[in-house]
Structure 1
Amino acid sequence: MKYVWLILCGLMVVCNGLHAQEKLRSKVLFDGRYNNREGAVEVLVKGKKLAPYHLTLFRSLTLQADSTEIATITALVESDAQKAAEKETGSIGGKLYYGFFCFPGNDKGTNQYLFFRNASLRNPDYPEVIVIYMEGAATLEELKEMFQ
């Protein structure tokens, strides 16, 4: 019996590890690393204010950064984009300029959304990148309309 519990506990650890890998890599951008940085604006909205938009969480990061940091952020988003169930992207010079991505969640009706824009590709003198992460039941089309 002791061995059965040991095996079950081991399986739980492995399953939790696998579940953690399913999370979006770009969520690390919202870990607080930019809180006090000049040229960075973070927004976090939860609760009733989001109900009209069929969302439960809204996080955005607008960041003025150098080309190396923008490339790192773009790589995170592109890695996540490979797992997206729905997506719309645009490129400039072979580089990701914008992307709208939808990732179905584990809970019925709860999806994850990732929006990205690299403004530096249009204007190199203004090196800005925007990353928006959302959770909720809105459709990708509804969210795209909100951002236009």
Structure 2
Amino acid sequence: MKIAVELGIITDTFESAITWERFPEFYKAIVSATEDACLKASGHKGSVSCRFTHCYPDGPASYFSFQAKGRYGALAEQWLEIKSSALDAVITHGGTVTHHHAVGRDHMPWYCRQRPDLFASALQAAKDRLDPKGLLNPGVLLAARS
């Protein structure tokens, strides 16, 4: 990763899951949205690839990667613009942003959009009871308490 940054390359991955019958259109939409975001953010189409990390009877867990040439001094902002557009597209086209290891601080805004409020409340109650000082993974599944 360090070499990519030194070369001015924006790169990241994100995972999703969707049913088999919906995957072909989903794949096209996510690749298109991510390529468009790379072009908008960096002026370059970039590269988007996809592989399956897991395959289940009802659908695949697709793992998308993107790379784009960035501008020094703006790499973080460009990365966030591309990542945001890609994850917005995942939700818009019916995928989940939480498969496998795709939950955490970077994915929190999209995870909160998909997580049912009742589940969030139950999870917060369990965390309050088991981790009253909020020491374990603050800001990963629930907003960090100040």
Structure 1 length as normaliser, TM-score? 0.25
Structure 2 length as normaliser, TM-score? 0.25
Q: Give the strand-richer structure, 1 or 2.
A: 1
Q: Give the helix-richer structure, 1 or 2.
A: 2
In terms of Rg, which structure is larger? 1
Higher relative contact order (CA 8 A, sep 6+): 2
